[in-house]
Amino acid sequence: MKLLKDWLSPDTQYEFSYLDTLFAVHPQWDNVILSLEGKDAKRFLQGQCTCNLDEVTKEHSNFAATCTPKGRMFALFKIARLTEEHYLIKLPSELAADFQNRLSKYLAFFKAEIKASSWFALGLTIPEACAEATPELPTEFGATIQVDNNQLIIRHPTQTPIWELWLNSASDAADNVVACQSSEATSISDQPTPVADWNQLEVQNGIPEVVTATQEEYIPQMMNLQAIDGISFKKGCYTGQEIVARMQYLGKLKKRMYRFEISAPSTIPAIGDALYDKDDNKVGNIVRIAAPAPAKHNNYELLAVIQNEKADQDLFSAAGQTNLLSRKTMHYEPIK
């Protein structure tokens, strides 16, 4: 582990005690941060995102989704505000080009532009005792600290206290991060901390993700987006809003996302794979998966959207009652 200040520019003076705190740093190279900037940036996003842009401030960031007119998510992301006319959007790299293309069709009518940015994200984990002794760290879900328009520290909506550090690669701080990342290991055990470690933390805390394999498959509530404040049911219209609101107030979801663990499966599970009940009936699909941690050997953790009525039954990752799943709790429970 390293002191956070060691990752930042030695020429920059900050009066925050958290800079003297030990962090494990988790690269997020499988994500990208896009920039949406312009006079109409907020108005445009308000008409596209499931969250309320009035709640996205310099002090607070949000999860959000963009949907098709049928209410199906084609992207799920975290959004932060730099200025009243400049927003940053973090999402999986594999969706970036498609996301930009879809939004650009509507942006032609607004004074705003979406493009690649010079920003990148790192995950930060910290021992609980250190966090308690570091009051300046954001503690509320989504709470954000912004420094010099080049650094953001965002509290992740997880029971485990973890944060994200967003850095502008054009800044001196980012140069120091790259140097640290290439020079030595930065995990608690002084071993390299791969992207998979952060993915596992998010799976354990029920953080959903939309990738190419799950695009346009689910409405936001099916992935529990309302549980991490990613949906506003009080804001005005946005693309897909009618379907999302109707399900909230008039309908009843038959399936939602749950967390499971599978021990030593005969075949390695993958996103999109079907899950089955004891009678070999398909009950849902895997939407996110975490590779085994060293301490758990061959145990895979996963998130799956399944039928609510089957959530407490024996489920399997293959037909023929093969590979029994063990249901695990999350810091929130899906609302049936």
From CA 144, how far away is CA 48, in angstroms rounded? 23
* Domain coverage including residue 331: 254-336
Q: What is the pTM of this model?
A: 0.87
Helix (H) or strand (E) holding 132, with range, is: helix 128-132
Domain end call among 251, 278, 296: 251
Domain end call among 251, 282, 311: 251
- Based on the domain organization, do 230 and 264 belong to the same domain? no
* Region of residue 315 (phi > 0: left; psi between -120 and 50: alpha; otherwise: beta): beta
CATH number at residue 212: 3.30.1360.120
- Based on the domain organization, do 114 and 129 belong to the same domain? yes
Phi, psi for 172 (deg, rounded to 5): -65, -35
- Based on the domain organization, do 246 and 261 belong to the same domain? no
Give the pLDDT band (50/70/90) at residue 186: very low
Specify the number of domains making up the chain.
2
- Based on the domain organization, do 131 and 196 belong to the same domain? yes
pLDDT digits (tens, 9 = 90+) for 141-172: 999 988 878 889 999 988 878 899 899 986 55
Q: How is residue 320 written in tokens?
A: 């023929």
- Based on the domain organization, do 188 and 276 belong to the same domain? no
pLDDT value, residue 4? 52
pLDDT value, residue 192? 38
pLDDT digits (tens, 9 = 90+) for 211-260: 999 999 999 999 999 999 999 999 889 999 999 999 988 888 999 999 99
Three-class secondary structure of residue 22 per DSSP:
strand
- Based on the domain organization, do 152 and 8 belong to the same domain? yes
**Between 170 and 135, residue with greater pLDDT:** 170
Residue 160's nearest CA partner among 197, 125, 187, 132 is 125
Mean of the per-residue pLDDT values of the chain:
84
Least confident piece of the model among 40-54, 189-203, 244-258: 189-203
Q: Are 245 and 271 in contact (CB under 8 A)?
A: no
- Based on the domain organization, do 161 and 208 belong to the same domain? yes
Residue 157's nearest CA partner among 198, 196, 202 is 202
- Based on the domain organization, do 156 and 264 belong to the same domain? no
- Based on the domain organization, do 194 and 284 belong to the same domain? no
- Based on the domain organization, do 287 and 149 belong to the same domain? no
- Based on the domain organization, do 183 and 65 belong to the same domain? yes
From CA 97, how far away is CA 100, in angstroms rounded? 5
CATH number at residue 268: 2.40.30.110
- Based on the domain organization, do 294 and 163 belong to the same domain? no
Residue-by-residue DSSP string for 176-219: HHHHHHHHS--STTSS---HHHHHHHHHHTT-----GGGTTS--
Q: Is the predicted pLDDT of residue 267 greater than 60, yes or no?
A: yes
Domain end call among 231, 251, 271: 251
Residue 70's alpha-carbon distances to 200, 246, 249, in angstroms, are: 31, 11, 16
| Residue ranges in 25-109 assigned as alpha helix (H) | 41-46, 96-107
Residues near 296 by Cβ (< 8 Å), separated by ≥ 6?
none
